[in-house]
Amino acid sequence: MTSPDGGSGSGQRVALDAMGGDHAPATTVAGALLARDDGVDVVLVGDAERLRAEPGGTDLPVVHASEVVAMDEDPALALRSKRDASIRVAAALVADGSADALVSAGSTGATLAAGLLAIGRAPGVRRPAVAAVLPGTGTVLLDAGASPDVQPDALVAYARMGAAYATVRGVAAPRIGLLNVGAEPGKGNALARAAEELLAELEGFVGNVEPAAVLAGAADVVVTDGFTGNVLLKTLEAAAGAGGADGPGAAVLLGCARPVLVAHGDAGPEEIAAALRTAAEVAAGDLAGRVAERLSAASREPTRA
Amino acid sequence: MTSPDGGSGSGQRVALDAMGGDHAPATTVAGALLARDDGVDVVLVGDAERLRAEPGGTDLPVVHASEVVAMDEDPALALRSKRDASIRVAAALVADGSADALVSAGSTGATLAAGLLAIGRAPGVRRPAVAAVLPGTGTVLLDAGASPDVQPDALVAYARMGAAYATVRGVAAPRIGLLNVGAEPGKGNALARAAEELLAELEGFVGNVEPAAVLAGAADVVVTDGFTGNVLLKTLEAAAGAGGADGPGAAVLLGCARPVLVAHGDAGPEEIAAALRTAAEVAAGDLAGRVAERLSAASREPTRA
Helix H segments across chain A? 26-37, 48-53, 75-81, 86-95, 108-114, 152-168, 190-199, 211-215, 226-240, 269-284, 287-300
What does A14-27 look like in DSSP terms, one character per residue?
A: EEEETT-STTTTHH
Count of CB atoms within 10 A of residue A284's CB?
18
Establish if B305 touches chain A: CB-CB under 8 angstroms.
Answer: no
- Which residue, among A247, A255, A246, A264, has the nearest Cα to A288 in the 3D structure? A255
| Type and span of the H or E element at B1 | none
> CB distance B190–A148 less than 8 Å?
yes
Which of A143, A222, A231 to mutate: most B Cβ within 10 Å?
A231
**Rg (alpha carbons) of chain A, rounded to whole number:** 19
Residues B228, A225: C-beta atoms closer than 8 Å: no
What residues of B are in contact with residue A208 (Cβ under 8 Å)? Answer: none
Inform me whether the pLDDT recorded for A158 exceeds 90.
yes
Contact at CB, B234 and A210, closer than 8 angstroms = yes
Q: SS3 of A103, please?
A: strand
Tell me whether A185 touches chain B (CB under 8 Å): no
**With the C-alpha atoms ordered B12, B249, B146, B130, is the resulting torsion angle positive or negative?**
positive
A266: preceding bond cis by omega (within 30 degrees): no
Residues above pLDDT 70, as percent of chain A: 93
Give the pLDDT score at A9.
61
Q: Which of B179, B214, B238 sits opposite A211 (nearest CB)?
A: B238
CA dist A155 and A199 (Å) reads 8
Distance CA A145, CA A162 (A): 14
Instruction: Answer yes or no: do A228 and B231 touch at CB < 8 A.
Output: yes
Q: Which of B150, B189, B223 to mutate to test the interface with A (most CBs of A within 10 A)?
A: B189
Residue B7: exposed, middle, or buried by beta-carbon count in 10 A (0-12, 13-18, 19+)?
Answer: middle
The SS3 call for residue B223 is strand
Per-residue pLDDT, A135: 87
What ipTM was reported for this prediction?
Answer: 0.91
How far does B98 lie from chain A, in Å, by closest CA? Answer: 34
Q: Mean pLDDT of successive 10-residue segments in chain B (305 residues)?
A: 47 96 97 97 98 97 97 92 97 98 95 95 94 94 96 97 97 98 94 98 97 97 98 93 63 96 95 97 96 86 50
The set of long-range contacts for B185-188, using a CB threshold of 8 Å and a minimum separation of 24, is B188/A148, B188/A227
DSSP state of B242: S
| pLDDT, tens digit, 9 for 90 and up, residues B8-39 | 566 899 999 999 999 999 999 999 999 999 99
CA distance A197 to chain B (A): 17
Q: What is the pTM of this model?
A: 0.92
- Could you tell me which residues come within 8 angstroms of residue B52 by beta carbon, excluding any fewer than 6 positions away? B58, B62
Residue pair A115/A253 in contact (Cβ under 8 Å)? The answer is: yes
**Among candidates A188, A234, A238 on the partner chain, residue whose Cβ is nearest the Cβ of B227:** A188
Judged by a CB distance cut-off of 8 A, whether residue A149 touches chain B is yes
What is the average per-residue pLDDT within A118-143? 94
